[in-house]
Structure formats: C-alpha cells, structure tokens
Chain A
Amino acid sequence: MRRHHRSFRLLAPFFALILLLAACGGTDEEEEGGPTPGGGSGESDESATGKQEGGTPATGEGLPEDTLIDYATLAAANPNHIDPATADTRNGSQVTELIYDGLTEVDSDNELVPDVAEEWESNEDATEWTFTLRDDVTFSDGEQVTPTTFKRSWERALNPELASSLAYHYLPIEGATEFSEGDAEEITGVVADDEANTLTVTLADPLSDWPAVVSHTVFSPVPEEAYSATTADEINEWERGVMIGNGPYAMDGEWENNVVIPLTENTEYWGEAPNIPNIDFRISSELEAAYNAFEGGEGDTAYIPAGSFADATETYNNATDRSFGLYYFAINYEDEFLGGEENLAVRQAISMAIDRERINEQAYDGARESATGVTPPGIPGFTEDLCGEFCTYDEEAAADLVEEWGKADEMDPIELQFNLGGDHEDVVNIVEENLTAIGLPVEQVPLDGETYFDEMQVEGGCSLCRAGWIWDYPSYYNGMYALFNSVGIDGDNLGRFNVPEFDEVANEAAATSDEDERNELWNEAEEILFDNMGVIVLNWYTNQVVYSDRVEGLVVNGLQAVNYPEMSLTEG
C-alpha cells in the first residue's frame, strides 16, 4: 500500500466552508432582530388570546415552581452584549432592562412612565430638560443612584474608546459630538446637581420627545465599579461576571455563553418586587430549536418562527398584537416618472394597486397587519386611516389613475428593488403582479443585503425600494422625522421626499412641548406626506410570543419588551 498525497483532502473542509460562507451572506436588519435596538408593537385590543385546543396537553408542566424558563428572548442567538452601553440588539437589551432602571420607561401599555426620575420638565422650546430623581434608588450593593451616577454612566457609554454602536442616541445632547470625538473632557450639555437631585440636559436642537429617548437602556445608570470598564475588553469582562444593577432583577450567577443568563429577584429593589422570583433566559442559536424546546414542554415562553404563525396561535397562548415596525416601499420623489407633483397619480395608483391582505396571507402566514398609515397604533398620537382610500386595494381605480396619468408607455420599467436574504421575494412577486395588472411595467432588482441600504441612500439609488423601520421609542418623531424630513436625504429618507410644507410642520412638532398640540401637528405632517403620496406603506409588524399555561399576565409592548416583572406563575 502506498501513501498518497492528501493535500486535496485537506482542503476539502475549506471548499465546504467557502460554499457555506457564500450561502450565508446577508442578514436582514429587521428580520434578524439584529443590531437594531428598537422593537415594535402596539396597543393591545386583541392581544393575548389564550387558546387551548383539545388534545394538546398542558404546557409548562413539571417545570421548576419558582423559575420562569424563558425561550423567547434569547431564542435566536447568544446576545452580543448586555451591558447598557453596548447592548445594541433587542434580545440583549431585554435582559439589560430587567437589571437596570433608567430615568423613564415604557410600560406594557406603551405609556411613558417615570422610573428613577420622579418627574421632568422642559423649557418652552424643548431644548432644556430637567429630570428630578427619586432619592431612594440604590444599586443592589447599596450604592446610591444620584444625578452624577447618570452623568458618569452616560460619559462611559459615549466614550470614544468604546465606540459603541449606540452612541448616536446621545448625539442630540449639546457637546455630545465633541465628547465622542475625544475633544472634550465631559458632555457639556449634561449638568448633575446632587444637592437638588436633578439632572439637567441641554439639547442642540428642540426635541419634545426627549423623555421617551432616555427610556432606552443605553441611558441606564451603572455602578461605580463599572466606570473603570470603558474599553470593549473591560466591558466584556464586566458583563460576563455578575453585573450589579438597580433594576427589579439581579444576575444570579455568570452569563454562561450560549447556555443561559440566570436572573433572580433583586432583594434590595426600591420598587415593587417582581412576582416571579427567578428567570432563566435560555440561549439558543436557532429560533426553530428554541420553539421545539417549548413545544416539547421544556420552557414557558418562545418566539414563533417563520411559517408557524397560524399553527402556533391556534395551539398555544400567545401575545401577538402589533409592534412598532413598518414594512414599506420608498418611492423616489426626484424620479422623472415617479416623483414630484406631476406624478402624484401614479404614486397613488401604485399604493392602491397593492393587495396588502394577500401579501399578509401568502408571505407572512397572516402574522402582519395591513398598514393604513406610517405610524402604527399604540404610538401616542396615532390616528387611524391617515392614508385613506389610497391604502385600500382597488385594482380598477388604480388602473384608471394610471390611464389618467398617461405616461406608462414612455417609461422604462419601474425598478422594484429589494435586499436578498430577508425573505422578501414573496412580497415582491405579489407587488410585481399587482402593478403589472394596472398596466405599469415593472422589473425586479434583487440586491445584496449588506450594502443595500447604502446603495438606496445615494442620489438616484432608490426607485421603488423595499425598506423597514423599527421604532426605538414610542414616539411619533422617531418614525416620521428621519424618514421623510429633507434633512434625512442621503440618510434614512430613501425616497428623498422633499416637501417644504412637511418639513415646516415636522420641525414645529419636534419643538412643541404640549403633547396634544404636538400630536396634532404630527398628524398634520403625516397627512401632508400622504397627500403627496411620499411613501408606499405595506404592513405593521406584530409580536410573536407564545407561552405556557402556567404563565399569567404576559404582555409584550410595542417595543417588543415582555413585562417580566409583572407576570406570574400559577400552580399546575
């Protein structure tokens, strides 16, 4: 027997790997829940419909009595971080939220409520905000939470060395940009007065929604012990140990990578104690696997994987109300045939021709909700049907509009652009069919997922392009300003929507501190948007959580936050 050269065989795993790398390219920022910190869901008028079909045994039997076994939050991946300064994915910040309490928080009804800050007020044009803190808040090791704690924690998060992807949340603060560039010793716009127990924040531009912005976990206070952890390595070490926090839950041991993050009740908690003493956040790397574990009776909660929606909601208790996310097509306002006042009719026709219900049924297993505007229900100020008749499927009326417009024969096919790797093909196919049916020529343009949005942001990039938006805070501003104000051109305003009247109203709304007045202005702005048909909205996202029979009171809010501290476990 001779020995052969094995060099080819040695390379075999590499070819396999290369194929794999090629096959796995591109993750979609919203589907992945990925690095977008926001979540989304709405007011629950039809949520939490417990169902128990005959034949299926009770779920949650035989699990430990005082511990919730969670397979919903970390179902898809080991979170990249849970330190407030770096937890930039929804799954990680869900855990952060339980360990830390910030100035304000969004409750399970999507209301902005006081947390560590007792109250807050602003000056007339919403540029200076003063938060008055509670005086009884401590970390679980006894350290007092003071205004200075917040200031130092914020500077830690914005520290240039850390280069956190969440740094942008701080940029509205005066002096924040200088600090993040390393040109300043402190964030000059934040003044901590420990005597008066107030934290005063000065903003560079008016922002009436600032209290909602600071509800984000990146604004959480961290104990003194954590101040020294400012580089990525140090933070890594800190968060993988037992982090000390000021929230309802505390870490019950170290975060075991890819296995579990165990939490237990914080006995030193200043607020109301949670009902469930322990939570095991089980980590899975596959949504399917976590859901299977739930189905096999191993967990109390799970996230419904794609394609199982109808089946899951039929079989298990579920929380599937709206979340604050919008699926839409941006339409180029500068395009010769699609943009401007003279082409309003064709934009209206496109919006009218799309069969939103069919898309929901065929592409999402009925999991979404057809949109009737940009701002989803549950966001303060939401008004129904702002898009009106043009978001209602009517093929005939749409065809009439196209005829009236009369330029269908002159134009090149409309480029229907979408990013690969996000399962958008089904949606795009239906849209193409719908538009062809009313006599508009259409061409599908699938693009690489990772560079997609960069390409769409440049001049002439987006023609009719797919996009999604997930709200960071329950605020009208968050979904309206960057997406459609002319300052968002070259950025998130993919359709390059540019109507001075809109800008004027939106700017005024951002600077109005009275809530009712502000909401009216936002409604007006959104109406202007739809009067000009500046966007083609498709659907709103929904939450997709199922839970066992022993869990009571589970609610998922619009930001996809589960109300763990308020839930309880029943016996049996």
Chain B
Amino acid sequence: MLGFTIRRLAQAVPVIFCAISLLFFLFYVLPGDPVTILSGGTGRNVPEVTRQNIEQKYGFDKSIPEQFATYWGNVATGDLGDSLRDDQPVWDKVKQFAPNSIRLAFWALVLEAFFGIGIGMVSAVKRYSVIDTVTTLLSTIAMAIPVFVSGYLIIYVFGITAFQRGWPEWIRFPTGRTPENWAFFFFPADEESFRRLVPPAVALALIQIAVVARMTRTTMLETINTDYVRTARAKGLTERSVVFKHGLRNALIPVVTLIGLDFGTLIGSAVLTETVFSYNGLGSQIVRAAQFRDAPVVLGLTLVVVIAYLVVNLIVDLSYGVLDPRIRYDD
C-alpha cells in the first residue's frame, strides 16, 4: 500500500510538469501580447519607453527558454510569481480562492451523492413504476440543460423574482456574492452565507445528480439480478436487508469512483457555475486571468487544480480497498 502510494506520487510529478509546461507554451502560441495589455490595452499608442520598462520589469525581454527556466526555478522553490494584472502574489490568490472552490465542490458533491444515489436506488427498486419513469425523464432533462441556463434560471426565479414579487423569506436566495462566513471550514456559519451557497451548489450539482442517478440505477439493477442477491432473498432476508446490504454496497463501487473523481473535476471545472454566480473560486479566476493574458495566475491556479485532482484520484484508488476487500495493493 505504501509502495503503491509512493509510486503514484512519483508518477504525478511528470504529469504536473507536462501540464504546466503545456500551458506555459500555450501562452506563446496564442496570438496577443501581454505587454500590450500591460501598457494600457490595445488601441493605444504606447510610448516605446513605457514598453521597454514593462518588458524589463516582467522579464519579457528574455528568450522563451530563459523565461521557461526562470519560471520552473521559481515554482520549484515555492514561488508562483506575481499577477501581471494587479501585481498580487499568486499564492495570495490561491489562499483566497482555493478554499471557496473546495467548499463549493464539497457541497455539490454532498448533493450529488445524497440525491444521486437516493434517486437511482429508488428507481432501480421500483423499476418501470411511475416514479422510475418520472425520475428517468427528469434526469435526462437535467443532463441536457447546461449550467449557464439552469444557473440563470435559478437566479431569475429565486434571486430576483422572489424579491421583486415579495415571496416568503425562506424561498429567497440572494446571489451575486460569495458566502463569507464559515465554521469548521466547510459549514456556512450564518443564514446569509447558507443562502448564498445553496444556488451555486445546486446548479453545479444538478447535472451530476442526474449522471449519478442513472449510473446507480444501472449498477443497482445489475446487482439485483445477480445470483447472490437471489440467494439472499431465498434465505428469507428482509427486502430492506437485501437492497441495502447486498445490493447497494456492491453496486456502489463504480458509483464511488465516479463521485470521487468528480470532486477533482468539480474544483477545476466549476468555471461556468462560478462565473454565472459571481462566486470567487479558482475557476472564475482562471477565466478572468486568461482574458488578461495573466500567465502567472493561470499557471499557478491551474497547478493547484492539477494537484487537487491528482490527490483526489489517489484517494479514490485507495478507497477501493475499503469498499471491496478483494482489491489489494501489492508492493
């Protein structure tokens, strides 16, 4: 197990290196020039002096390999550099935005696991019933609606209309700001923070709930039709015990894989959700920085996402052993 873990961690190093290097060079392939943006944007006649001063200050006067070497030298010593746009250290941005992304992903994951597995299980057990048909239909619809539609819909109904029409307090969810007060890192500390967390978390989880529900239903149906479940039934176990102990636990392995990997994906790919809800997370910041050709920020924040993804991946792999004792990690 230890050897496996170390091997996996060692494998992560080239992955991180390649990914960030790829992005680094991408900035040179893409048209556009950070110096132009730094010196006041396109369409402005920039005095040569200003241009040179800016090039020197940010090291753009050096060759690309030199810049590349400098960048990795700094990263290796833990220095992610400063933002080109506002000169803030990238680390400060990571410290500010990564927790928000992790919290959002966490709650989306909780919703995903709870509703996804719940719905999937019910529709598998009550196969071809009205409930099954309805949930199948709903999950198909949910999967088809992109978050920039569902997100705006949620904002429009619960964030705007609810206030303008004076709907009851409990149904109003203000949006447009990131929740600020947290307890024990993960839990909204006051009602306002809770109300600001719900809409983006729901929007982010919506599609995944549908995916998980579909998957749970399928694997659950497979398991229910296996011999050992039939045996369990034949033994005269209660239906409850059959479904939960023998069916669900075995059906969950692929589902857990899916959900676990989702956590990494949710952190990095919440770009749209974060943007729609103006939620201050890594995703929305990466988009923003990319628009400004702010290479250090894009690279730095991406590095964090990559690492988060790798770590989660490793945890998921290790957790197979817990769910299925047959899996062993031999050294």
Q: Which residues of A contact B (CB under 8 A)?
A: 1, 3, 6-7, 9-14, 16-18, 20-22, 24-27, 29-30, 32, 34-37, 56-57, 71, 77-81, 88, 160-161, 163-168, 171, 177, 180-181, 232-233, 235-236, 240, 257-259, 282, 284-286, 288-290, 292-293, 295-298, 419, 448-454, 457, 467-468, 482, 488, 491-492
What B residues does A454 contact at CB under 8 A?
36, 42
Whether B41 pairs with A29 at a CB distance below 8 angstroms is yes
Q: B275's closest neighbor in chain A, by CB?
A: A286
Q: By the criterion CB–CB under 8 Å, are B40 and A35 in contact? A: yes
Interface residue SS majority, chain B = helix
Residue of B nearest to A315 (CB): B164
Task: Knowing A29-B43, A35-B40, say if A1 contacts B327 (CB, 8 Å).
Answer: yes
CB pair A298–B40 under 8 Å, yes or no, is no
Q: Given contacts A24-B290, A289-B175, could you give 14 more A-B pairs where the C-beta distance is less than 8 Å?
A: A13-B264, A16-B269, A18-B26, A26-B32, A32-B41, A35-B44, A71-B176, A160-B49, A180-B50, A233-B82, A236-B87, A259-B280, A296-B164, A451-B42
Residues from chain A with a CB closer than 8 A to the CB of B290 are 20-21, 24
Do A448 and B32 form a contact, CB below 8 Å, given A17-B302, A289-B175?
A: yes
> Contacting B54 at CB < 8 Å: which of A163, A235, A240?
A163
Residues of B within 8 A of A78 (CB): 86
B38 & A165 in contact (Cβ 8 Å cutoff): yes
B44 contact from A6, A17, A36, A292, Cβ within 8 A: A36
With beta carbons under 8 angstroms apart, the residue of B156, B160, B284, B306 that contacts A13 is: B306
Query: Which B residues lie within 8 Å of A285 (CB)?
Result: 275, 278, 280, 284, 288
List residues of chain A with CB within 8 A of the CB of B36.
450-451, 454
Q: Chain B's nearest CB lies how many Å from the CB of A256? A: 9
B235 at the interface (CB under 8 A from A): no
B77-118: contact bitstring with A at CB < 8 Å (1 yes, 0 no)?
000001001111000110010000000000000000000000
If the complex has contacts A180-B49, A452-B42, are A295 and B164 also in contact, measured as CB distance less than 8 A?
yes
Q: A20–B317 Cα gap in the complex (Å)?
A: 29
Q: Which residues of A contact B275 (CB under 8 A)?
A: 285-286
Chain A residues with CB below 8 A from B280, complex form:
258-259, 285
Contact mask B299-320 → A, CB, 8 Å, 1/0? Answer: 0001001100110010001001
Q: Complex Cα distance A181/B53, Å?
A: 8
Known: A11-B19, A21-B290, A36-B41. Contact between A167 and B305, CB under 8 A?
A: no
Taking CB atoms, residues of chain A closer than 8 Å to B168 are none
Most buried by B among A17, A284, A286, A488: A17
The 5 sampled A-B contact pairs (Cβ below 8 Å) are A292-B156, A295-B160, A419-B42, A451-B31, A492-B43
| Chain B residues close to A by CB (< 8 Å) | 15, 19, 22-23, 26, 30-33, 36-47, 49-50, 53-54, 56-57, 82, 85-88, 92-93, 96, 152, 155-156, 159-160, 162-164, 166, 172, 174-178, 180, 253, 261, 264-265, 268-269, 271, 275-278, 280, 284, 286-288, 290-293, 298, 302, 305-306, 309-310, 313, 317, 320, 324, 326-327
B324 CB contacts on chain A under 8 angstroms: 1
Residue in contact with A35 in the complex, picked from B22, B41, B163, B313, CB distance below 8 Å = B41
Distance, CA A233 to CA B90, complexed state (A): 12
Say whether B40 contacts A166, CB under 8 Å: yes
Contacts of B277 in A (CB 8 A): 289
Contacting residues, chain A, for B162 (C-beta < 8 A): 296
Contacts of A258 in B (CB 8 A): 96, 178, 280
Query: Which residue from chain B places its CB closest to the CB of A71 in the assembled complex?
Result: B176
What is the chain B residue whose CB lies nearest that of A298? B174
